[in-house]
Chain A
């Protein structure tokens, strides 16, 4: 017992609350009031200095490139859809929210493309597995859109055209490299 206590791998967490001063509660109450009153007075003097955003008028500005927002389907260089309807994303999706109907691609760029590509955002858990599963970088979640609104359930099912219309909100490493190689 004693040996284990001396062992360096075990840290003894100090216990608070057994001191006489703690038993009286009042010093701790005073310390707590100092904190809360400090916040109160600071915000009372200037309410606009508060960190809290007046959402929806104020939108967050701190969404990082790694933030998983709403999905988008990416384009090829010629502007056509990149997706080849391989069903990898739909297979990887733990929520089963991706509905794909494949069709033959006749313009000679590729063999297959989705006729229907719908994501039910009410089912989606925004885990990003579809993005990881995609072999063609055809689906991404870098739109930075965090809020989906609608009047009916159907409004939340994003179809192919809507997914294609979303644009990436961040300058990624790949796009930077691409621009650099173009120059």
Chain B
């Protein structure tokens, strides 16, 4: 391998790890902040480091410090299988993290004659990996619930496992219909498939080709991530905290973070399978590479506009009501952040200008296109995560029997019917 190839490979591994791990504090913050705004309250906005509160995201890091320095308490009644009790949260966390590694963040990059995948794990059987590794997470929950030697924990683990089984079928069948549609098990090939259009106007996203499969898989992924409205595995009024009742400090945090990584992974799968992955609608990778100059020109105008909007929003919202005597350093923070953002914008503008003016055929576009695609992917991923959070704070929880009824009586037949119709259509079009 040449140096450039090694750099690109390492870069994509680091990017995958960062996108999964750094997203945890951001998602925890986003969840608390969005739920606050939905409920007409501000959410965490006090914690700060030297007056910098960054809209409250500092709170997540303070929470991490708290959880790390907390006492690790193992209940005395756990005599057997203590090592599995300790291992269980790690299984859940690691499986959620590993499942994320096969998501492509950008199209394959040609470096020194070799096509390199921008994935943490450059494999061509991404969806099988996701289904296999993603399902291992439930083992951590079952182990944790069982070895807690606590009836609530056992019930929680039981519920988690039961709902996982009932929805994995629908998820699997939905995924099979998507595999039939795309004729591939490779996530990257799926995204490339989605770069076309229908009748020249509608982007050929999975959402528009397979709306039923999109709904089925989205619901199944909600269950897979154990999030509301399917959060029956934990319930304060019935079974305390479910399978992690007996867990404290970092071991609890491991389950907690695992949930958010799983949500992030599920969001990435939805983006990749149904929302065109890293692609812009109507513009494929080839078009981007060939005509990068007009794209750079558009970006040259778009970036300052977006930044200006953001700065205006920040100046408007990073403050307190004028009746208050002190703003707790928010004014100073706004001024400094405005400077930083303007500096960043100028830097991006300079790079874009250079890309516009550079001679054709140089390396500029082939570096800029993957970066642009990564940005698009992250934006789409954040929007889907926002959707996950919005759903959680909108819907009441399903009762346990309702979850089972929905899974077996509605989703499973719907997934089967969808698969049936898809197969007929694919066979008809193919012959």
Chain A contact residues, CB within 8 Å of chain B: 23, 26, 29, 32-33, 35-37, 39-40, 43-48, 50-52, 54, 57-58
Separation of A164 and B325 alpha carbons in the complex (Å): 31
Separation of A58 and B320 alpha carbons in the complex (Å): 10
Contacts of A23 in B (CB 8 A): 410
Separation of A26 and B410 alpha carbons in the complex (Å): 13
Residue of B nearest to A28 (CB): B395
In the complex the two chains form, is A51's CB within 8 Å of B393's CB? no
Separation of A88 and B367 alpha carbons in the complex (Å): 85
Contacts of B77 in A (CB 8 A): none
Are A48 and B38 CB-contacts (below 8 A) given A29-B395, A35-B394? no
Interface centre among A26, A36, A57, A58 (most CB of B within 10 A): A36
How many CB-defined contacts (below 8 Å) exist between A and B?
Answer: 59
In the complex the two chains form, is B42's CB within 8 Å of A54's CB? yes
Are A57 and B40 CB-contacts (below 8 A) given A29-B394, A32-B395, A47-B317? no
Label chain B's interface by main secondary structure: loop
Are A54 and B391 CB-contacts (below 8 A) given A36-B38, A39-B37, A43-B40? no
Separation of A54 and B43 alpha carbons in the complex (Å): 11
Separation of A48 and B317 alpha carbons in the complex (Å): 7
Q: B362: CB under 8 A from chain A?
A: no
Interface size of B in residues (CB-CB distance below 8 Å): 25
In the complex the two chains form, is B390's CB within 8 Å of A36's CB? yes
List 26 A–B pairs whose Cβ atoms lie within 8 Å, in order of A's numbering.
Answer: A29-B391, A29-B394, A29-B395, A33-B390, A33-B394, A35-B394, A36-B393, A37-B390, A39-B39, A40-B34, A40-B37, A40-B38, A40-B390, A43-B40, A46-B316, A47-B37, A48-B317, A48-B320, A50-B40, A50-B41, A51-B40, A52-B41, A54-B321, A54-B324, A57-B324, A57-B325
Query: B380-397 interface mask toward A, CB cutoff 8 Å, 1 = contact, 0 = none?
Result: 000000000011011100
Contacts of B320 in A (CB 8 A): 48, 54, 57
Residue of A nearest to B319 (CB): A48
5 tightest Cβ-Cβ pairs between the two chains A and B: A52-B41, A43-B37, A32-B394, A47-B317, A36-B394
Separation of A44 and B33 alpha carbons in the complex (Å): 10
Known: A39-B37, A54-B320. 12 other contacts (CB 8 A): A26-B215, A33-B394, A37-B390, A40-B34, A40-B38, A40-B390, A43-B38, A47-B42, A50-B41, A52-B40, A57-B320, A57-B325
